[in-house]
């Protein structure tokens, strides 16, 4: 009937908190959907929210983004994630580097101007290996369903 009037991401996160606490499932699902579609959360915040509000399908993509990120974790991010997760991120990054699932190419003579190429499938396997609790079970019907046709990106 009416669309959501909440426009700021922090308000959606507050609504997620309240709806989770009081078990308002439809409102919680709406908040999760809105937060997901806005795509403005950094991986660390997405991980902390997913752990706080039990949103397991956010974890694997957020871990993949964090492992692929060229910058190391900051001290503040490490504190927010906790020791166990920080060590796992470091381990996953080392495995990615050892298996050569990331390659770089200089775009110019500036050392910080680099292009990164990733083996996304390999990195996802590493994330699932390091965080086995994040492996999302795919229903049999969804696993056998044909993939939607590719849409060209311009």
Closest to 42 (Cα-Cα) out of 95, 93, 97, 81: 81
Question: Taking the domains of the chain in order of start, what are their residue ranges?
Answer: 1-40, 43-135
**Each residue's pLDDT tens digit, 24-77:** 999 999 999 999 998 789 999 999 999 999 999 999 999 999 999 888 999 999
Q: Whole-angstrom Cα distance, residue 110 to residue 93? A: 24
pLDDT above 70 (res 142): no
pLDDT above 50 (res 145): no
- Mutual orientation of helices 59-68 and 120-130 as an angle, nearest 10°? 120
pLDDT band at 150 (very low <50, low <70, confident <90, very high): very low
- Mutual orientation of helices 25-38 and 9-21 as an angle, nearest 10°? 150
**Each residue's pLDDT tens digit, 84-107:** 999 999 999 999 888 888 777 666
For residue 20, the model assigns a pLDDT of 96
């Amino acid at each position: 009937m009416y669309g959501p009037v909440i426009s700021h991401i922090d308000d959606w996160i507050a609504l997620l908190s309240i709806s989770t606490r009081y078990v308002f499932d439809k409102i919680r699902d709406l908040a999760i959907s809105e937060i997901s579609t806005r795509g403005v959360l950094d991986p660390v915040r997405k991980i902390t929210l997913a752990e706080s509000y039990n949103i397991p399908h956010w974890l694997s993509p957020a871990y993949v983004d964090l492992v692929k990120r060229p910058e190391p974790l900051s001290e503040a991010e490490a504190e927010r994630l906790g020791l166990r997760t920080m060590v796992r991120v470091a381990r996953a990054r080392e495995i990615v580097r050892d298996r050569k699932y990331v390659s770089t190419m200089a775009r110019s003579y500036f050392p910080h101007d680099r292009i990164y190429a990733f083996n996304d499938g390999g990195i996802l396997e590493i994330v699932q290996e390091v965080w086995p609790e994040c492996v999302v079970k795919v229903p049999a019907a969804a696993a056998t369903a044909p993939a939607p046709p590719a849409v060209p990106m311009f």
